[in-house]
Structure 1
Amino acid sequence: MTRLAPRWRQLWIGIVACYAATAWGSDAAAQGNKASTDANLTAKAVCESVVAWDLSRLDGAPTSITAAKLVAAANGTPEYCDISGYVQPQIQFQLRLPTKTWNGRYFQVGCGGFCGGVNIQNCGDVLAKDFAVSANNMGHVGHFLRDPLWGESEDARRDYGRRATHVSAIASKAIVEKFYGAKPAFSYFRGCSTGGREGLMEAQHYPGDFDGIIAGDPAFAGRLGAIANTWDAKYLLKPDNTPVMSDATLQVLHQAVIAACDGIDGVKDGIIMDPRACKFDVKTVRCKDGNEGATCLSEAQVAAALKVYDGPRNSRGERLFPGGETFGSEGAWKGDDRLTLADGAQRFLNFTPNPPTSFTYRDFDFDADIPKIKDALTRYDPVAPDTAPDLTAFEARGGKLILYHGWADQGVSPLNTLDYYAQVHTRQGGLDKTRNWFRLFMVPGMFHCRGGNAPNTFDFMPAVMAWVEKGEAPNGVVATQKDASGAVMRQRPLFAYPQFAAYDGKGDVNAAASWKAATPKKLTDDRIDWIFGPKATAPQTGEQ
């Protein structure tokens, strides 16, 4: 084909763009068709022409495309059209569309912390497999861990809460449909932390957006930012906001916990299989004179540890959050985000109107202020106060949900996720029935979303795709731990809860094949009675 001169090339692009814009509503028949999968589908539009498309009347998600450029194939990534834009009022998104090799599927990635940026780079592994991929900034610009000044805006609060993920999916899939002349055959979402919360929000409030959802270590921004993060900061930080415990002291505590509980599962490997089985007494590591020592904790440090293990309570002893820090998470308690997550949420997100500029997280009153932040929980969390999760619509449409959580998560208590899962399956037909469409995987030794001295990297994308497209439920996935050089140290299978990995007693303890699925002799009721929990439909026997 003869290469067009720049002037004629621009004219041609304009003609194509004009046709694309006028044809937006005229080729409904073509747009109503779902794409075939794994067929190396090619674009029906010139990449650069996309900027001229008028999406300002897109129902529910008025959209403007601000840039589109063609990016050459490189390093295992196919040639793609890189599209940027925003959904009203300011939900910035980025969309990357393979131009010659689209596999017929759409993928959207979640964000982290307070978000504020478009983390399209977290789609790289999926783009390399020829998905159309998208990411967004959840409606505002800012650092994902520092002060969320944008919280002064009611629109920004709304979009961060539940709207941004949904309307980004609407806009992105509309562009995908026009670009290829067909709708995605299947749509997938993956996210951890805030992204995990996004996934559960989608499943409950917008069940038609995604066929398969992977939600990890879900950080419910309302109950965390308003309650749990503030509680942990109060006890793990001194009045000057320096850590109560140094790295060395945290390791003393962590190693004492490991020594006491590591072997409960029959294998001494530095990993606690289920922290609930650990009955460690923190007071056993208190220095005799009450002061901090090289191999023991001070009286104040022991008291702080007891508070965060137990979790938030008011002066009447009522639980304010479903659980506290778990045994095995101590090595990550000294996070740099302890202060910023707690202080930022309390100053800019939780109260209406925002408190005075002098207000800090230490001014939060766990008695008087709890009723004042119910609106924040309603706005930011998938489940509103005093209600239970309701995923009946997602189940009815055939959606598949994989939820995972690190047992040693220092940022979000895994007990919160266990409570969530139990609230779902006790109301939607029981555990066995729920496992037909919703499975939970607990990851021993893993910190928040990653890290920890345990196998903590894994890929649930093939599993959720097989479940959605072939009806093959995930029986397990292999987790891997690598050393600093990238060499594999050990692998271990993760099985769907309540099953867990049990050592076969004879193989290489670091090999996944040496671990088999086991089921607890007695299943527990994982629901937790807390101040904003749902009204029980059956007696609750979970941890109190």
Structure 2
Amino acid sequence: MRCFLIPRSLMSVAIAGLTLSASAPHLAAALPQLQEASPSVLPSRCEDLPSLMFPNTVIASVETIANGTLTQGNQNIGEHCLVKGGMNQRISQSDGKSYAIGFEMRLPKQWNGRFLHQGNGGLDGVVKTAEGAMGGGPITSALMQGFAVISSDAGHDRGLPTFAYDPQARLDYGYQAVATLTPMAKSMINQAYGRGPDRSYFAGCSNGGRHAMVAAARYADDYDGILVGAPGYRLPLAAVASIAGAKVYASIPDTDKNELSSAFTPAERRHVSQAILAKCDELDGAKDGMIQNVKACQATFSLQKDVATCDSDRDGHCLSQPQKNAIERIFNGVTTSDGKVFYSPFPYDVGISSKDHMMWEYSAPIQRDSGAVAMIFNTPPVPLEDFNIRHFNGAEFVWKANIDELVSKVYATNGEYDESAMAFMSPPSPEDLSTLRDKGGKVMVYHGVSDAIFSVQDTETWFNALDANNHGHADEFAQFYPIPGMGHCRGGQSTDQFDMLSPLVAWVEKGEKPEQVIATARGLGNEGEVNEEIPASWNAARTRPLCPYPKVAFYKGEGNIDVADSFMCERPAHAM
């Protein structure tokens, strides 16, 4: 069959009767439109529900949670049932420990007919409150909106990397817990309400964003909408890159490895942040302490040229040449010994001076990434006496690490661990979401430009590959929102408070494609948690439009710069 790209002006005429192959460009009108979910009321008290049952599942408790027991912002979350349990309980043949997939489900009295699977962050290991709240200082959540929500520990009950000595626990953490929990959760909803969910969603940030990306690729038949935040979808490589970055910082003369911030001090970071703003702030038409035109900034700012080089001692207002060289190595993307970038570059942004940025660059490699890389992403994991984390020295591991070997081992397998870290942690073929696309599903992705652990440029590269795979039409089922100034999942000098779940639902169920998402700063008086990094010069409730890539929020030339209506989402002249 020969397929032709039909001009958008002729779509309404040409689309009738057109059949497209899986590899051909998809047109918005050709994609199925999913029906809107219908609400229901839980027919009985939680304690009077029929015995909830599913194979290999133990229900530990079912209880009523009264209206107002949980809140979101300053609003009450309505009455709901809390169901706690576990699946696939077993004793490991590898480490002798007990494992199960622990979970909780919250079933609203007033149900909107929707199900949301909440992906959690970090190493999992904890069943977090199943509420489905996303964005900085969230003031709404899936539970508050009437979704049935599930949260799990992803197959291990402590947030420590030692679970990874058990091969099955690795796979559960990576992707299999979701496959196990999804049919159970839908069955529980059916048993409670007398019918299954009309529409199903998946949402998470950081490792939860990775879970969401994996669900979009592996479990598209089970989910209709995917909300992805700061997707560490190549988490093993990002963690190795974090360790490599720490080693680069440690190579700067006079750096104290026990106080890694001495490599690039807070004062020096503030100076560089100001230099970035001086070159890039007005590229979006407004001098407002925010860099909306991120791509133009990367082409405009030069660390070597735009930051003074110290003539003598470092005083916080200059950088030594070794500092500049090291920082450039990190922001250009750390490499293996043959000079190949194995993860991603990072963009220069105002958030380079934030506490979050410094934590991820200085503390996380030693305190977080060392254990994850050594035990979860290494095949085989490093030997550890009695599988006890107390016998592991993260600093020693980092400073002795050979980056080439660490990169190699995230792709390695052996007889006991027959899936590599990159295989069980990453979505297969993430640039091909054709199953989700062809069923009428949608995916919305957001990522902070100042995220220091998972690079927004890595997400941009993914979206460009997805777009190329869809012949330039990925935006008909997928959107990517870079959030200027925001750190990892939240915070930073940014407008990071937003509701992206509601527009996702409207897109999935009504065909209303978002043109922008309005976000708010969390200054003093905010309904949710206050963001202490908001500059005093900003209105405490500053708003901005978040624009789907490659569009950027440009100032209209008039109007209050603290109000979103003064900005419009437009494609930059240099956009690809």
Q: Report if aligned partners of 1:50, 1:65 keep a CA contact under 8 Å in 2.
A: no
Q: Report if aligned partners of 2:521, 2:543 keep a CA contact under 8 Å in 1.
A: yes
Structure number with greater CO (CA < 8 Å, separation at least 6) is: 2
Identify which of 372, 377, 392 aligns with 1:345: 372
CA drift of 1:368 comes to: 3.8
Alignment correspondent of 1:490 = 542
Provide the TM-score with structure 1 as the length reference.
Answer: 0.82
Give CA deviations for 1:218-257 in whole Å, capped at 9, x if unaligned.
0125444543222223234553353223322221221122
CA drift of 1:86 comes to: 1.3
Counterpart of 2:43, as a letter, is: A
1:495-514 equivalent positions in 2, closer than 5 A: 495-514=547-566
Alignment correspondent of 1:103 = 112
Counterpart of 1:131, as a letter, is: F
Structure 2, unaligned runs of 5 or more: 1-33, 90-99, 134-140, 251-255, 384-391, 412-419, 527-538
Please say which of residues 276-285 and 447-456 is displaced more in the overlay: 276-285
Identify which of 242, 246, 257 aligns with 2:260: 242
Alpha-carbon distance change, 142 to 225 in structure 1, aligned in 2, over 3 angstroms: farther
Structure 1, unaligned runs of 5 or more: 1-33, 57-61, 525-544
Please say which of residues 502-511 and 478-487 is displaced more in the overlay: 478-487
SS in structure 2 at match of 1:130: coil
Q: Percent identity?
A: 29
Determine the C-alpha separation between the residues in 1 that align with 2:82 and 2:50. Answer: 11
Alignment correspondent of 2:302 = 281
Determine the C-alpha separation between the residues in 2 that align with 1:127 and 1:193. Answer: 20
Alignment correspondent of 1:468 = 508
Alpha-carbon distance change, 122 to 104 in structure 1, aligned in 2, over 3 angstroms: closer
Q: Report if aligned partners of 2:36, 2:509 keep a CA contact under 8 Å in 1.
A: no
1:211-230 equivalent positions in 2, closer than 5 A: 211-230=224-243
Counterpart of 2:113, as a letter, is: G
CA drift of 1:353 comes to: 1.7
Alignment correspondent of 1:53 = 52
SS in structure 2 at match of 1:109: strand
Determine the C-alpha separation between the residues in 2 that align with 1:48 and 1:471. Answer: 39
Identify which of 411, 418, 422 aligns with 1:377: 422
Give CA deviations for 1:272-296 in whole Å, capped at 9, x if unaligned.
1233322323235355345321322
SS in structure 2 at match of 1:189: strand
Counterpart of 2:296, as a letter, is: A
Determine the C-alpha separation between the residues in 2 that align with 1:166 and 1:286. Answer: 53
Determine the C-alpha separation between the residues in 2 that align with 1:92 and 1:445. Answer: 36
Determine the C-alpha separation between the residues in 2 that align with 1:290 and 1:246. Answer: 16
Determine the C-alpha separation between the residues in 2 that align with 1:239 and 1:51. Answer: 59
1:192-207 equivalent positions in 2, closer than 5 A: 192-207=205-220
SS in structure 2 at match of 1:179: helix
Give CA deviations for 1:163-190 in whole Å, capped at 9, x if unaligned.
1223222221110111111011111122
Counterpart of 1:498, as a letter, is: P
Give CA deviations for 1:180-219 in whole Å, capped at 9, x if unaligned.
1101111112211111111110010111221111101101
CA drift of 1:270 comes to: 1.2
Counterpart of 1:340, as a letter, is: Q
Determine the C-alpha separation between the residues in 1 that align with 2:364 and 2:214. Answer: 24
Alpha-carbon distance change, 66 to 201 in structure 1, aligned in 2, over 3 angstroms: same
Identify which of 155, 177, 180 aligns with 1:164: 177
CA drift of 1:40 comes to: 4.3
Q: Report if aligned partners of 2:50, 2:192 keep a CA contact under 8 Å in 1.
A: no
Please say which of residues 295-304 and 407-416 is displaced more in the overlay: 295-304
CA drift of 1:344 comes to: 1.6
Identify which of 495, 515, 528 aligns with 2:567: 515
Q: Report if aligned partners of 1:229, 1:341 keep a CA contact under 8 Å in 2.
A: no
Alignment correspondent of 1:321 = 343
Determine the C-alpha separation between the residues in 1 that align with 2:169 and 2:313. Answer: 47
Identify which of 412, 416, 437 aligns with 2:477: 437
Alpha-carbon distance change, 184 to 452 in structure 1, aligned in 2, over 3 angstroms: same
Alignment correspondent of 1:94 = 104
Identify which of 414, 423, 429 aligns with 2:456: 414
Counterpart of 2:277, as a letter, is: I
Please say which of residues 226-235 and 192-201 is displaced more in the overlay: 226-235
Alpha-carbon distance change, 496 to 35 in structure 1, aligned in 2, over 3 angstroms: closer
Counterpart of 2:494, as a letter, is: A
Alignment correspondent of 1:129 = 145
Alignment correspondent of 1:529 = none
Give CA deviations for 1:62-107 in whole Å, capped at 9, x if unaligned.
32211111122226222211100112141111101123x1121112
Determine the C-alpha separation between the residues in 2 that align with 1:112 and 1:236. Answer: 26
The alignment's C-alpha RMSD in Å is: 2.4
SS in structure 1 at match of 2:103: strand
Alignment correspondent of 1:261 = 280
Please say which of residues 494-503 and 515-524 is displaced more in the overlay: 515-524
Alignment size in residue pairs: 476
Determine the C-alpha separation between the residues in 2 that align with 1:330 and 1:64. Answer: 47
Determine the C-alpha separation between the residues in 2 that align with 1:434 and 1:285. Answer: 39
Alignment correspondent of 2:81 = 81
SS in structure 2 at match of 1:123: coil
Counterpart of 1:54, as a letter, is: M
Q: Report if aligned partners of 1:194, 1:221 keep a CA contact under 8 Å in 2.
A: no
Counterpart of 2:108, as a letter, is: P
CA drift of 1:458 comes to: 0.9
